[in-house]
Structure 1
Amino acid sequence: MIELIRTNDPTLIAFAKVLLEGEGIRCFEMDVHMSALEGSVGILPRRLMVPRPDAHLARAILRDNDIEPSERP
């Protein structure tokens, strides 16, 4: 799996997940429970991961909806 988005905004992650799952692309949110370590301040970003074969299509879907994906490999 590769990183598609890294953000502190939980609503952006939720919106991106709905878009991708609606197109049949599996995605996985990482670092969700890090808030227990940081004290629920929201300073540690969450990551949205997708399988490598779906990455190109997933990035195109996000760009079509004005979400700029990470450029990390």
Structure 2
Amino acid sequence: MRELLRTNDPTVIAFASALLDGEGIASFVLDANISVLEGSIGILPRRLMVAERDHFMAAAVMRDNDLSVTE
């Protein structure tokens, strides 16, 4: 797995996941339940992960939709 996106905004994660799903690219959100530890204040970022083989295409999808990609 390789990190594609890191953000504190859950709407960006949802949007990015929907875009990838539409392209047939599987993704996985890490740290999704971290809010239990942080008290739901949103300071810890969530990470969107994709398979190494899909990273190039997933990054292109993110850039085409004006989303920044973790390098």
Q: CA RMSD in A?
A: 0.4
Pairs within 5 Å for 1:26-41: 26-41=26-41
Determine the structure 2 residue equivalent to 1:8: 8
Displacement over 6 Å in runs of 4+ = none
1:47 aligned residue: 47
TM-score, normalization: structure 2? Answer: 0.98
In 2, the alpha carbon distance for the partners of 1:39 and 1:67 equals 27
Stretches of structure 2 lacking an aligned partner (at least 5 in a row): none
Q: 1:68 deviation in Å? A: 1.1
Looking at structure 1, the residues matched to 23 and 57 of structure 2 have their Cα atoms a distance apart, in angstroms, of 9
Q: Deviations over 1:28-72 (max 9, x none)?
A: 00101110000110100000000000000000000000001101x
User: Which runs of 5 or more structure 1 residues have no equivalent in the other structure?
Assistant: none
What TM-score, normalized by structure 1, do the two folds share?
A: 0.96
Question: Percent of aligned pairs with the same residue?
Answer: 61
- CA–CA distance in 2 between the matches of 1:6 and 1:46? 6
